[in-house]
Amino acid sequence: TEAGQTADALPMDSQAVAPERDLMSKFDSLIAERQALLDSGVTDPFSIVMDQVKSPTVAVIKGKETILLGTYNYMGMTFDPDVIQAGKDALEQFGSGTNGSRMLNGTFHDHMEVEQALRDFYGMSGAIVFSTGYMANLGMISTLAGKGEYVILDADSHASIYDGCKQGVADIVRFRHNDVNDLDKRLGRLPADAGKLVVLEGVYSMLGDIAPLKEMVAVAKKHGCMVLVDEAHSMGFFGPNGRGVYEDQGLEGQVDFVVGTFSKSVGTVGGFCVSNHPKFEAIRLACRPYIFTASLPPSVVATAATSIRKLMHAHNKRRHLWENARRLHGGLTEMGFRLGTETPDSAIVAVMLDDQEQAAAMWQALLNGGLYVNMARPPATPAGTFLLRCSLCAEHSSEQVDTVLGMFRAAGEAVGVIR
Ligand code: PMP
């Protein structure tokens, strides 16, 4: 029979069969580390489930009403009635998904609308929407910098920036975090006539510190580099029009590409790049993470377009978000917590802790008290630090921030972080 013939064809001598190498065994140390954390009695900080979400600032976690202080919902747009209505309308009119790439059948009316909203928001001539912010960085960096060219990035850059470098073929140069002199020195060593892209972030998301963009962009331009700034954590509340740290520092017209995301202030999912470069549209023809994936669902781009247009006029929200940041930063400093920045520089306030054990105990005590923050640890954090990241929302009331401060005091005293 045919089956018999197949069996005969298999090597019968067991010596000829190579032993299987278990590709999963490389994760053993990660599995052990996670188990050690769970054995210490804490809830797994990396598998929290929001059973119900009541508002931008309150959810139900494990049956308990919990204040959310660890989301990127800076402007609180997720429950905006106009945003929700736009999503419902698009869902009904255009269906649940696009079933294709932007380049083929995946561009619907609202993909054009959201790109126009971005051009209007940033006052720029070009806007390209990607399926996530991660893919915007992956795509822009790997496509802009080619063979024989250079990407120069801050050592504390987001994973999506590092991955954009890996995806591409350019040479990579890192400089010390926010160090203008180090950037200058390293650029000085590169061939003057090579193409160079300097990649910066407006706000660095682990410590909540901001980049000295003015000085850095000046150095980049001195060395003939193009500049891309990731403004993921500043959109909506930095600068007179909420365009980001680059606007706040007076750099309109000096930054070549701005990357951003819909997953933070905009309140949905998606990523984008805006630019005034006359050839910017060519990115759509060459950028693999733009071409080889399905486009965002119509409901998502419709909510994003509505949200972005509302953010253009969200002056009161912006003011209150900054008030919240100052209130939380000031209160925690007064209690004796060690924070990631000396002043409230952004909507992120990072509470620095000694080690994983202390961070986990503090995180758990806060959760038990009804507060959710992000636990962050290496490799996501700089210099091997353990921290609890608090991100504020324009929809947190002043009373909520005071309640949060009370929770930090109780947890900090119980764990022994403060006296
Ligand atoms: N850039 C930065 C600086 C980020 O912090 C993030 C996400 N945390 C991204 C890009 C990716 O954004 P998205 O969630 O849209 O993939």
Q: What pLDDT digit, counting tens, does each position of 69-124 carry?
A: 999 999 999 999 999 999 999 999 999 999 999 999 999 999 999 999 999 999 99
- What distance in angstroms lies between residue 191's CA and the mean position of ligand 1's atoms? 31
pLDDT digits (tens, 9 = 90+) for 19-36: 889 999 999 999 998 888
- What distance in angstroms lies between residue 378's CA and the mean position of ligand 1's atoms? 17
CB of 216 closer than 8 Å to CB of 184: no
41-45 contacts at long range (C-beta below 8 A, 24 or more positions apart): 41/364, 42/360, 42/361, 42/363, 42/364, 43/364, 43/367, 45/360, 45/363, 45/375
**Whose CA is closest to 352, among 364, 365, 341, 343?**
341
- What distance in angstroms lies between residue 393's CA and the mean position of ligand 1's atoms? 17
User: What is the share, in percent, of the chain residues with pLDDT greater than 70?
Assistant: 96
pLDDT digits (tens, 9 = 90+) for 346-383: 999 999 999 988 999 999 999 999 999 999 988 888 88
- What distance in angstroms lies between residue 131's CA and the mean position of ligand 1's atoms? 12
User: What is the share, in percent, of the chain residues with pLDDT greater than 90?
Assistant: 88
Residue ranges of the chain assigned to CATH 3.40.640.10: 79-311
CB of 113 closer than 8 Å to CB of 262: no
Which CATH fold topology does 79-311 show? Aspartate Aminotransferase; domain 2 (3.40.640)
Tokens (6 digits) for 210: 């901001």
Residue-level length of the chain: 419
Considering the domain delimited by 38-75+314-415, tell me its CATH architecture. Alpha-Beta Complex (3.90)
Pocket lined around ligand 1, Cβ cut-off 6 Å:
132-134, 137, 158, 160, 201, 205, 230, 232, 261, 263, 271
State ipTM.
0.99
pLDDT digits (tens, 9 = 90+) for 187-199: 999 999 999 999 9
pLDDT for residue 44 is more than 90: no
Q: Tell me, what's the pLDDT at 15?
A: 67
Cα gap 58→274, rounded to integer Å: 33
Indicate the pLDDT class of residue 384, thresholds 50, 70 and 90. confident
User: What separation in angstroms does the CA of 374 have from each of 48, 380, 388?
Assistant: 10, 12, 6
Phi-psi category of 62—alpha, beta or left, where left has phi over 0 and alpha has psi -120 to 50?
A: left
Half-sphere exposure of 312 (CA within 13 A, CB side): 12
pLDDT for residue 401 is more than 60: yes
Cα gap 177→165, rounded to integer Å: 17
Cα gap 336→331, rounded to integer Å: 9
Cα gap 263→259, rounded to integer Å: 13
User: What separation in angstroms does the CA of 173 have from each of 32, 77, 150, 197?
Assistant: 34, 37, 7, 10
CB of 404 closer than 8 Å to CB of 370: no
> Which protein residue has the closest C-alpha to ligand 1 atom 1?
232
Indicate the pLDDT class of residue 18, thresholds 50, 70 and 90. confident
**Atom nearest to 135 CA in ligand 1:** 16
Q: Tell me, what's the pLDDT at 84?
A: 98
pLDDT for residue 11 is more than 70: no
| Residue located via tokens 């040479």 | 171
SS3 state of residue 305: helix
Q: Tell me, what's the pLDDT at 14?
A: 61
CB of 363 closer than 8 Å to CB of 351: no
User: What separation in angstroms does the CA of 186 have from each of 21, 67, 174, 198, 218?
Assistant: 42, 45, 8, 11, 14
**Atom nearest to 72 CA in ligand 1:** 8
**Whose CA is closest to 274, among 335, 229, 207, 311?**
229
Cα gap 110→299, rounded to integer Å: 8
pLDDT for residue 5 is more than 60: no
Q: Tell me, what's the pLDDT at 1?
A: 42
CB of 131 closer than 8 Å to CB of 273: no
pLDDT for residue 317 is more than 70: yes
- What distance in angstroms lies between residue 57's CA and the mean position of ligand 1's atoms? 20
pLDDT digits (tens, 9 = 90+) for 210-261: 999 999 999 999 999 999 999 999 999 999 999 999 999 999 999 999 999 9
Residue ranges of the chain assigned to CATH 3.90.1150.10: 38-75+314-415
Helices 81-94, 298-311: axis angle to 10 degrees equals 150
**Atom nearest to 203 CA in ligand 1:** 3
pLDDT digits (tens, 9 = 90+) for 141-161: 999 999 999 999 999 999 999
Q: Tell me, what's the pLDDT at 2?
A: 46
Arithmetic mean of pLDDT over the chain: 95
- 385-403: b (≥16 Cβ within 10 Å) or e: bbbbbbbbbbbbeeebbeb
> Which protein residue has the closest C-alpha to ligand 1 atom 12?
133
Q: Tell me, what's the pLDDT at 33?
A: 85
> What is the torsional sign of CA 216, 270, 311, 381?
negative
Start-to-end C-alpha separation, the chain: 81
- What distance in angstroms lies between residue 112's CA and the mean position of ligand 1's atoms? 22
- Which helix (H) or strand (E) segment holds residue 173: the answer is strand 171-175
pLDDT for residue 3 is more than 70: no
